[in-house]
Amino acid sequence: MTRPGDNARMVGKLAVVAAGMFAFGYALIPLYQAICEATGINILALSERQVPGAAGTAPANTQVDTSRTITVEFDANARGPWSFHPAQRSLQVHPGELATVMYEFQNVQDRRMAAQAIPSYAPRQAAAHFNKIECFCFNQYTLEPGEKKQWPVVFVIDPKLSKDVTTITLSYTFFEIGGRTPPAPETSAALAAQGSGT
């Protein structure tokens, strides 16, 4: 049999041990920071330090060629009775810069339709350097009668594109699935660009 005094002493000892563990855990944070500061091994926390003159600065994207500007023209062709056009006709971008353009579509027919877009480029050499990150041309879509949609095209022009190319025309042809797939259009802008060799 244990006496009540022994139980009280045991509870007191356990309370002291628990308080000591809490104090050690609380003191461990500044102790850890001091050890890491002295040894220089806390490389994950270097970004949290306040470096004079570096507050709010972000590293520049070295992939963007700011010495060049390329005009990207947007064209839309619809094979069928529906409305399809870009939200803007052209955009000035630097090679390596991420850019977005929206295309608007409306099914003006009185029936449901499934459709897809196919892209084409002028000049042709630009196709290998026009990298689409997001594009509605990757998928087929079903639209209800009168339904309107807006779709983005997110792209980057590779800085390796020849320096004599200053204008690129991105043209989409939107056609109904199940019908004959039309050939890529030869727009007047595309033909002019090919003729000039740009």
The rounded distance, in Å, linking the Cα atoms of 192 and 195 is 5
Asked if the model's pLDDT at residue 104 lies above 50, the reply is yes
Give the mean pLDDT of the chain: 78
Q: What is the pTM of this model?
A: 0.56
Which of 117, 195, 109 is closest to 144 using CA atoms?
Answer: 109
For the ranges 29-33, 43-47, 138-142, 158-162, the maximum mean pLDDT occurs at: 158-162
Asked if the model's pLDDT at residue 182 lies above 70, the reply is no
Asked if the model's pLDDT at residue 138 lies above 60, the reply is yes
Asked if the model's pLDDT at residue 45 lies above 60, the reply is no
The rounded distance, in Å, linking the Cα atoms of 158 and 65 is 9
Asked if the model's pLDDT at residue 181 lies above 80, the reply is no
